[in-house]
Amino acid sequence: LAKTTQPISMDSYEGQEVNITCSHNNIATNDYITWYQQFPSQGPRFIIQGYKTKVTNEVASLFIPADRKSSTLSLPRVSLSDTAVYYCLVGDRADNQGGKLIFGQGTELSVKP
Amino acid sequence: EAQVTQNPRYLITVTGKKLTVTCSQNMNHEYMSWYRQDPGLGLRQIYYSMNVEVTDKGDVPEGYKVSRKEKRNFPLILESPSPNQTSLYFCASSLGQGSRREQYFGPGTRLTVT
């Protein structure tokens, strides 16, 4: 069974860059790595996705090393509104059909003024 | 508006009383999935469905049932709820299966079993 590992919590201050790393040692060759953001009392929502190297969108960047056994979500210049739980997601390597999805435990990011 | 809806949003019940949590999506998505969220454990997949009449177990299927008779609906059934099923439940859908597909989540259903 694939497993992902993330830090449970992180603290930051407004304006700083935050990097959250997820470990996914058993990632399958055809798997993508996706990150989600969740605010209290809401469902998770998609932030960014990548397969290898670096991906950037208007919200974040995602860095994936060549061996793809980990990934790092980078949030530039965080604000108070970035306080949320962040999850990484990969597929289950043992599931050839792609139905099983594995979320990490989530990283609770707290941004302080 | 494209969305995933769940009902009820909050439910308090007693041990052994059968209940159903409904999930519906209006995006014509093939793939639907149920998760439970518990402190320190993150999101764990209960069941998923890759299309109508096609369902399979996720990580924590014990004590749950699902059905997929229509493409838009994917109800979660607890035949005999127990206190350890007290949790926050999310339904999600996507255009297809696999980690590449963006998951769209419902607002969640907070279930308490006493």
Q: What does the radius of gyration of chain B's CA atoms come to, in whole angstroms?
A: 13
Q: Does B97 touch chain A (CB under 8 A)?
A: yes
Cβ <8 Å between A41 and B44: no
Residue A1, pLDDT above cutoff 60: no
Cβ <8 Å between B97 and A34: no
pLDDT along chain B (114 residues), means of 10: 95 97 96 94 93 94 97 97 97 86 95 98
Give residue-wise pLDDT tens across range A73-92. 999 999 999 999 999 998 77
Tell me the mean pLDDT in the region A96-106. 82
**What is the least distance, in Å, from the CA of B76 to any CA of chain A?**
17
- Give the number of other Cβ atoms within 10 Å of residue A28's Cβ: 18
Residues of B in contact with A99 (CB under 8 A): 31, 48, 50, 56, 97
Cβ <8 Å between A43 and B106: yes
Cβ <8 Å between B99 and A100: no
Taken in order B64, B25, B98, A88, the sign of the CA dihedral is negative
